[in-house]
Amino acid sequence: MNKYIHSFLIAMISSLLMVACVDSYMGVEQVKTNSVKPEKITIKEIIPKSGALEIYFTLPKGNPNITQVVASYVNKQGEKVEFTVSRYSAFILVEGLTGTEQVTVELVCIDSSGNKSDVTVVKAAPLTSPIELALNTMKVQPAFGGIKVEWKNERANPFIIHVLVEDSLQKGVVSFMEDPYKTIYTTDSVNTFAYIRQYPSVEKKFGFSVSDKWGNRTDTLISFLTPYKEEEIDYSHIKAVTFYNPTIYAGSRDYGIYGVNPTTGIQNDGNAHGTAHVPQTIFNNIRTGNQFYGYKFVKNLSDSDPANRIIVHNYYLTFDMNMNVRLSRVLIYPRTGLVYTYKRSSPKRFRIWGTNDANNERWKKFPETWTLIGEYVGKDPVDTDNLTPEEIEYFNNNQEYSISEGNVNPDAHPTESFRYMRLQLMETYNKNEAFYTINEFQMYGEVLEYY
């Protein structure tokens, strides 16, 4: 009998719990829904933007259940594009528009039950889109080994520049097609240029179009251009010279004793750490390990008080190129390892000086008889302590300086050719570091004559 009473009580309790959960479950109230659609939203103002419309609106009064506002339009590819904001926003930005013709945008508000209001229709014309502005302002011109492309992107909008070139897929058949390896991805408002290389110095057909994340793509700009002749400078011809008294010693040397030639008054070339780290090593095609390693001179080095010692940051390396060359660009490959990436002894600022055999006083007078080819400054990362993979890759493998466009010194003459080169290292990323390190100094340009 007790067994049946126990079973009856369990059944009764379960029934009571089921009844109690009609309006709530575990103490959480169920959402009540209805099928009444909210009133339409009211448009207050429409502000045309570049490739967009900024639409200000007012929600129906007295309806606290509205959760969001949705704006949509059909793009030129026939696809519906939607944008959503919460009820707490006063406007909605509709993007991805191209052209300056009037477009139709539909807006609805949605409540917590999922009910949509009737459509409010907006008709307005956007301003010229970022990708159309980029194409309209695009300039294409010959460059060493290829072409230079420039554009405007004042608001740092993200877009892609597609590069099309002629290519021979089979003998006698030339196709004009996109080269995916030359694609330019940009979100920059300052560095709005790029070089497309490597091409021979013959006329070639190039094409450029711009696309965005909304799937829009511009027409193609066509240009016929002849790149300037450019070649990688052959290291086998370059030899370090000793006319400016370079030394080898595993440590810093006193500027007052070793820094200046007492006869000419010219600063001597720097001091290398050892025979395995002399200036010639920047031209040995080795980009890893520890190549060139040179100590800066120090004034008052023998002073017992370190506070009186002054590091001389200018450090010179001098070479006979054994060719008459006009440089187009150089690449620096620093000592590898994160401790040298935008840090320590890696060069940040440097100059290139040049002269030729006509300068009979080249070893006796410097700099007045030499030509300043250019002065260059390395980039800084956003946060030295939190480098991005892109920043690391650039610094170690793509640290390129254009001889003309990259020059920061108005007194320089980047187009001058020369035979003898004096490389002036001026600043390390850590100004307190007493030495410089470089693994390779790669050069490109036009060789006018070999000696």
3-state DSSP helix/strand/coil percent for the chain, to nearest 5? 15, 40, 45
**What b/e sequence results for 35-55 when a residue is b if at least 16 CB atoms lie within 10 Å of its CB, and e otherwise?**
eebbebbebeebeebbbbbbb
Answer yes or no: is 301 within a domain. Answer: yes
**Do 209 and 253 lie in a common domain?**
no
Confidence (pLDDT) at 171: 67
Alpha carbon of 192 to those of 21, 189, 210, 417: distances in Å?
64, 6, 13, 28
Answer yes or no: is 278 within a domain. Answer: yes
Answer yes or no: is 25 within a domain. Answer: no
**Do 372 and 433 lie in a common domain?**
yes
Single out the residue in 165, 198, 228 at which a domain terminates. 228
**Residue-range definition of the domain harbouring residue 195:** 130-228
The CATH number linked to 106 is 2.60.40.10
**Do 100 and 154 lie in a common domain?**
no
Confidence (pLDDT) at 32: 61
* Residue 251, number of CB atoms within 10 A of its CB: 11
Using the structure block, give the residue that is written with the tokens 């956007």: 126
pLDDT along the chain (451 residues), means of 10: 48 46 49 81 96 96 92 95 95 96 96 94 97 96 92 93 84 83 91 90 95 96 94 96 97 97 97 98 95 98 94 98 97 95 98 98 97 97 91 94 95 97 98 97 96 95
The domain total for the chain is: 3
Confidence (pLDDT) at 392: 94
**What b/e sequence results for 90-99 when a residue is b if at least 16 CB atoms lie within 10 Å of its CB, and e otherwise?**
ebbebbbbbe
**Do 242 and 348 lie in a common domain?**
yes
**Do 375 and 361 lie in a common domain?**
yes
The answer to whether the peptide bond before residue 367 is cis (omega within 30 degrees of 0) is yes
User: CB-based burial of residue 394 (10 Å sphere; 0-12 exposed, 13-18 middle, 19+ buried)?
Assistant: middle
Confidence (pLDDT) at 12: 52
Single out the residue in 93, 124, 155 at which a domain terminates. 124
CB 117 within 8 A of CB 144: no
Confidence (pLDDT) at 175: 86
The CATH number linked to 445 is 2.60.120.260
Confidence (pLDDT) at 27: 53
**Do 186 and 273 lie in a common domain?**
no
Report the side by side order of strands in the sheet with 80-86: 80-86, 66-74, 103-111, 120-124
Answer yes or no: is 33 within a domain. Answer: no
Answer yes or no: is 140 within a domain. Answer: yes
Please tell me what DSSP assigns to residue 236. Answer: G
**Do 262 and 326 lie in a common domain?**
yes
Single out the residue in 101, 124, 147 at which a domain terminates. 124
User: CB-based burial of residue 67 (10 Å sphere; 0-12 exposed, 13-18 middle, 19+ buried)?
Assistant: middle
**Do 265 and 312 lie in a common domain?**
yes
Strands 271-272 and 247-248: parallel
**Do 254 and 213 lie in a common domain?**
no
Nearest to 300 by CA among 269, 263, 259: 259
pTM of the full structure: 0.70
Confidence (pLDDT) at 188: 87
> Cα separation of 163 and 208, whole Å?
5
Confidence (pLDDT) at 20: 41
What the block records as the tokens of 256 is 């007052």
CB 279 within 8 A of CB 240: yes
Dihedral in degrees, nearest 10, Cα atoms 383, 389, 395, 396 = 140
CB 272 within 8 A of CB 351: no
Answer yes or no: is 21 within a domain. Answer: no
What the block records as the tokens of 345 is 């002894």
Alpha carbon of 264 to those of 16, 244, 260, 279, 372: distances in Å?
107, 10, 8, 22, 20
Checking phi first, is residue 114 left (phi over 0); if not, alpha (psi -120 to 50) or beta? left
**Do 199 and 120 lie in a common domain?**
no
> Cα separation of 345 and 252, whole Å?
14
Answer yes or no: is 11 within a domain. Answer: no
**Do 247 and 359 lie in a common domain?**
yes
Confidence (pLDDT) at 431: 93
Answer yes or no: is 75 within a domain. Answer: yes
**Do 118 and 137 lie in a common domain?**
no
What the block records as the tokens of 114 is 């999922």
